[in-house]
Amino acid sequence: MKKALLLDTSIGTSNVGDDIIMECVEKELAPILANMFVFRLPTHVPAFHSYAIWKDSFAVQNYAACDYKFIGGSNILAKDMRTHYPQWNVNIFNCKPLSGSVCIGVGAGAGEHTDAYTTHLYRKILSHSYYHSVRDERSKHYVEDVLGLKAINTGCVTMWALTPDFCAQIPAKKADNVVFTLTARVQEDLCDQMLIDTLKREYNHVSFWIQGDKDEAYFRTLSNTDDIEIIPPHKAAYEAVLLRDNIEYVGTRLHGGIYALRHKKRAIIISIDERARNISADTGLITIEKDMLNGLPSLINSEFETKLNIPFEEITHWKEQFEG
């Protein structure tokens, strides 16, 4: 029996968006992994100690010998792996069993520059044989031109199910109720207060979903929040809200918005960094820059269809590598 190793970006995470990503990763890989024995290891915390590598333990041998190794989504390819807390907590001393790993819907981290150690580490870990699935053109450039590996821009794995027929079922008109997200900041951002005030004016009922571990504490620093419903930081709790009638999404969390689309809810994503910005540029995802929120009421009250440019041929091409 073939064996596969799934490197799970949701274990030990401080962002429930990673649970959304891994749900989608597993759905897309299900046909490939259907008849395999699947090991699962975390990425946010070290999977094993360097001593286990040195001793060549039985577990390490099992992982190293897997036929396929997949690293699932998120902005996992940090540009500087010397940081004290990289999203992928791996180093030059314990990476050997992960050699040959294949990316599925990953993004490159912030910044334009990388260092020699990081480049060397990724080239030791990532497959030189298979094409890596990346979620935007910027990440494709990083994998191909900086790391010297093969890549296909498949878009984010969370969007692979958003076919034209599916998106046609997403309402174009404004809903009466909204669920929103925030991204915690060190100090209050006036844009976030503007967001809350706008949503309170434009909708009958406002719910706040806690996606990150610090988001609720940050929410408490803002005003005009007394009658906002707070949704616990669990994917199932958020999904229950998305199953309600006459509700849509507005917020700063990229995958909170995409998960709303996957539940046929209209979504407006507030772009706060390169992640939403790059994916929007490639796919046409509806976004608004956070410093342009004076235009949010107009966007909320407008009618717009969700028409996304998802690279389905590229997705199929990437999957075909693992047939047979």
Q: What angle do CA 103, 313, 79 make, to 5 degrees?
A: 30
**Is 70 exceeded by the pLDDT of residue 280?**
yes
Please, which pLDDT band fits residue 112 given cuts at 50, 70 and 90?
confident
Res 200: pLDDT: 98
User: Tens of pLDDT along 73-108?
Assistant: 888 999 999 876 778 889 998 898 999 999 999 999
**Is 80 exceeded by the pLDDT of residue 47?**
no
Mean pLDDT of 113-131: 96
| Residue percentage of the chain with pLDDT more than 70 | 98
| Contacts for 28 with CB less than 8 Å, ≥ 6 apart | 104, 157, 160, 319
Res 148: pLDDT: 97
**Is 90 exceeded by the pLDDT of residue 29?**
yes
Q: What sections of 129-271 are H helices per DSSP?
A: 137-141, 164-167, 190-202, 215-220, 235-242, 254-262
Closest CA to 177 of 114, 89, 258, 249: 249
DSSP-assigned beta bridge partners for residue 77:
108
Res 273: pLDDT: 83
Q: Are the CB atoms for 43 and 89 separated by under 8 Å?
A: yes
**Is 80 exceeded by the pLDDT of residue 48?**
no
Give whichever of 38-47, 103-112, 240-249 has the largest mean pLDDT. 240-249
**Is 80 exceeded by the pLDDT of residue 55?**
no
Mean pLDDT of 254-259: 97
Instruction: Report the sign of the C-alpha dihedral through residues 297, 301, 305, 306, in that order.
Output: positive
Please give the residue that has the higher pLDDT: either 45 or 23: 23
Mean confidence (pLDDT) of the chain: 93
Mean pLDDT of 8-13: 93
Res 144: pLDDT: 97
Res 188: pLDDT: 65
DSSP-assigned beta bridge partners for residue 106:
134
Please give the residue that has the higher pLDDT: either 323 or 36: 36
| Contacts for 41 with CB less than 8 Å, ≥ 6 apart | 5, 6, 7, 8, 47, 63
pTM of the model: 0.94
**Is 70 exceeded by the pLDDT of residue 324?**
no
**Strands, E assignment, the chain:** 3-8, 37-42, 68-72, 102-104, 132-134, 151-153, 177-181, 205-209, 229-231, 247-251, 267-271, 287-289
Which two tokens mark 66?
Answer: 């897997």
Please, which pLDDT band fits residue 186 given cuts at 50, 70 and 90?
low
Res 217: pLDDT: 95
User: Tens of pLDDT along 187-244?
Assistant: 667 899 999 999 999 999 999 999 999 999 999 999 999 999 999 999 999 999 999 9
Res 14: pLDDT: 93
Backbone angles phi, psi at 225, to 5 degrees: -115, 5
d(CA 137, CA 265): 27
| Encoded amino acid at 145, one letter | D
- Beta-strand relationship, 267-271 and 247-251: parallel
Domain annotation for the chain: domains and CATH numbers = 3-160+312-320 (no CATH), 164-301 (3.40.50.2000)
